[in-house]
Amino acid sequence: MHELIRATAREVLARLNSGEISHGELLDVLEARVADVDGAVNALPTLCFERARERAASIATRPATARGVLGGLPVPIKDLSDVAGVRSTHGSPIYADHVPAQSAHVVERIEAAGGLVYAKSNTPEFGAGGSTFNEVFGRTCNPWNLARSAAGSSGGAAAALASGTAWVAQGSDMGGSLRNPASFCGVAGMRPSPGRVPRGPTADLFGSLSVEGPMARNLGDLGLLLDAMAGADPREPLAQPAPNVSFRAAAEAPQVPRRVAFTPDLGGLTPVDPEVAAICEAAARRYEALGAEVVEASPDFTGAHEAFQTLRAVAFATGHAAHYAEKRGLLKPDVIWNIEKGHALRGEDVARASLIRTRITAGLVDFLGEFDLLLSPATCVAPFPVESRTVTECAGVTFDTYIDWLAMAYAITLTSAPALSLPCGFTRAGLPVGLQIVAPLRAEARLLSLAASLERELAVETGPIDPRPGAASG
């Protein structure tokens, strides 16, 4: 493995800015790494290195201070976000040959900040589901064990980070799509507040369940990419201006919280694998070594399943109205189920879901008036076999739908609170486990700073690694 592949994004950026390495040399190293390992992982099915080289040539002519926050750092884009002139499939046969003329707003933001788009990362069709597979490109495997899932829907992004084919990666999150794959692949993924990062063009600019966000192998690099992504977009009504503080600087200035809460199951909302729960609790307790008080407690998430399922169905019915009307036969069953569930809803169903969401959010706000952070497992299970479409049961409890197993993440989605998944340990089988860390509303910088102290205390190995074969069961 080339030493540049092992380096952090910030180390690579410093070497680019100093002139120690050129952008062309960096892209050569990265392209060689992709050729070496991605055949086994299938994280980056669409490559556009020539596009990246053309843009790198322009960036290289500028002084380091005029290259943007990312300074010519390569960034893969999740295949749900269009990149102008690059095949962008959304994981769907409907868009199998789609080459858009315009990039998504978040891609424009990343490129304006000096990011070099060199690849599209794999995703399930329209991001539906917590396992990364689709009819266009197939399945993405977990680098820690190629027989296991990378989760989803930002599974390609997480697997690229773990296997050393990315230093930072863009993704998106509705029901945990940044946090779940981060947990499964042993990297960091943050769901920012709605409006923190541009998410258009989209059929519903007023939706607040889905957000764009960063992934990286460590929190400092995560903050770097969030600095590049964050900020108001004049085309988006819910956009928030970027705060005056640098997210990278916040992550590089670890602070110890005074008092944190840990819950293994969000107050009994969902079953959790006992080994996963134990690993996460042991990690949370490490805050005690830093001087923080750790209390087992949880806000009330009663009704989260109903509220999320209802509001998610509304989002799918809104976002995919044209697909359903014109291309229904090309949609996978899970997407059709989500859309038709939305069509069947009554006004009183949506009203009830909104009332539940408001109550849960108010409860979390009050709760985080007493605690600096809420900690929990990021997922209820460790990485499952890659051939499985979803998780059907956990700890003896059978799930009703294909997304029920994501409740640890989607309950937090309802509140709009920023949350991240931090690598916190490994199972006896050597599979990564992530700790979900939740902060008060709009407090991304505080979240990064408080989580960084635990990251330093845990010192978990986050790769990159060479992909590891493994047994499909056990």
What are the residue numbers of the active site? 78, 153, 177
CA distance 215 to 168: 6
| CA-to-CA separations, 142 to 137, 272, 277, 353, 391, in angstroms, rounded | 15, 21, 21, 35, 16
Token duo for residue 22: 């050129």
Strand partners, 262: 296, 375
- Maximal CA-CA distance, the chain: 62
Q: How far apart are alpha carbons 387 and 160 in whole angstroms? A: 19
**What would you report as the CA-atom Rg of the chain, rounded to the nearest whole angstrom?**
20
Q: Which two tokens stand for residue 321?
A: 């109205």
- Phi, psi dihedral angles at 168 (to 5 degrees): -140, 160
Q: Which two tokens stand for residue 358?
A: 């408001």
Q: In what helix (H) or strand (E) does residue 47 lie, and over which residues does it extend?
A: strand 46-47
Q: Which residues pair with 411 in a beta bridge?
A: none
Element (H, E) at 363: helix 347-370
CA distance 70 to 113: 6
What angle separates helix 333-344 from helix 304-319, to the nearest 10 degrees? 100
Instruction: Look at residues 204, 171, 234, 182 and name the one whose alpha carbon lies nearest to residue 434.
Output: 182
In sign, the C-alpha dihedral spanning 267, 268, 269, 270 is positive
Tokens of 92: 């769907």
CA atoms lying within 13 Å on the CB side of residue 390:
17
Contact in structure between 142 and 149 (CB atoms under 8 Å) = yes
DSSP for 243-303, please give it.
PSS-HHHHHTS----SEEEE-SSTTTTS---HHHHHHHHHHHHHHHHTT-EEEE-----TT
Structure tokens at 268: 């009994």
CA distance 197 to 194: 7
